[in-house]
Copies of this chain bind each other. A is one copy, B any other.
Amino acid sequence: MNFRSDNEAPVNDQIMQALVEANQGFEESYGYDRFSVQFKSQCEALFECWVEALPLTTGTAANSIAMALACPPYGAIYCHEGAHINADECGAPEMFTGGAKLIPIQGDHGKICIHALTEKLAHSGVHGEHEVMPAVISLTQCTEAGTVYSLEELKALKALKEQYGLALHMDGARFANALVSLGCSPAELTWQTGVDMLSFGATKNGAMMAESLLLFNPKYKNQILRQRKRSGHLISKMRYVSSQLCAYLTGGLWLSLAQHANQQAQTFFQACQNQVEFIHPVEANEVFCRLSVDKIAALKQEGFEFHVWPGSQDIIRLVFSHATTADSVKQLIQAIKE
């Protein structure tokens, strides 16, 4: 039973079906297909505003193109020290921006500490041109720790963004999980709290390889198509990316898949919270908890698959996905309680 990653889960059947249906005859290439047009419309309806929607195949591409749009090569990007863009993208933001600097900010449970960021920004500029120029705040929602920024926390970031004239980027590789966790609208979670750019992921939540970069602020849209092309991310047969995204959003599929995943995580948490130390609040579909080394070994032997968190020996990460069955969660709970 696989709790290792939502990237290891299969494609949702409705999305696979959409791919099969998109495979009829010839269709314009390089993003001029009808699915790409439809996806933009669906986004605008969902987010209740103008949206520039750029279909992509990886979250790293979405994040990095966002950085290239908003951050000059002599700019600074403020993010949590454990943010995917800082810790897991092998320098992609640096590559796409031509050498911008990521400023790692500390904070509990995967969230940027607002006080640490405030202080960092307050000290920026004292060395003038000898320093990089503050340009972007990037946050991950849900965070890499499986937690979710509240709307209040986002508004505090928005205030800083406005004070310093920065762009606000949200890495939403698991945006759907955050949205259903908070129970707010997509608009409330994004542009209404100051988000200019959203890396809007679908792959982890049921698509095959379908991500996108959504812009809510036209200020950052300059040459977005050339930025995609020059990084090799313009897919020729784009209909097969965009049709995934369309199916993902149709009929609320994305929300029900995320709801299911989050629910499995909650079931696990509720059942085990008295026996197990949870490292971070369980607010979406990722769970970090501490088990004995012996217990970890036993679980692995029983066929449960998960990551022991890099750098630790007794902290495991469990990811509950759209494809995680209630039965497998039940078995996991039992195995842990034994």
| Cβ contact within 8 Å between B57 and A240 | no
Copies in the complex: 4
For residue A28, CB closer than 8 A to chain B, the reply is yes
Minimum CB distance partner of A305 in chain B: B26
| Cβ contact within 8 Å between A57 and B60 | no
Number of chain A residues close to chain B: CB under 8 A: 78
Interface residues of A in 236-253 (CB under 8 A from B): 236-237, 240-241
| Cβ contact within 8 Å between B311 and A208 | no
Minimum CB distance partner of A123 in chain B: B311
Minimum CB distance partner of A20 in chain B: B16
Minimum CB distance partner of A204 in chain B: B236
Instruction: Give complex CA distance A236, B209 in Å.
Output: 8
| Cβ contact within 8 Å between A94 and B99 | yes
| Cβ contact within 8 Å between A229 and B126 | no
Contacts of A234 in B (CB 8 A): 58, 60, 129-130
Contacts of A104 in B (CB 8 A): 104
| Cβ contact within 8 Å between B100 and A94 | yes
A4, A59, A232, most chain B CB atoms within 10 A: A232
For residue A154, CB closer than 8 A to chain B, the reply is no
- With both chains docked as a complex, state the minimum distance between the C-beta of A246 and any C-beta of chain B, in angstroms: 16
Q: A92-B232, A94-B94, A99-B95 are in contact. Are A28 and B57 (CB under 8 A)?
A: no
Q: A74-B91, A91-B74, A95-B98 are in contact. Are A24 and B5 (CB under 8 A)?
A: no
For residue A38, CB closer than 8 A to chain B, the reply is no
Minimum CB distance partner of A173 in chain B: B236
Contacts of A311 in B (CB 8 A): 123, 126
- With both chains docked as a complex, state the minimum distance between the C-beta of A84 and any C-beta of chain B, in angstroms: 9
Ranked 9 nearest A-B pairs via Cβ: A126-B310, A98-B98, A94-B99, A61-B232, A7-B29, A2-B26, A60-B232, A7-B236, A129-B225
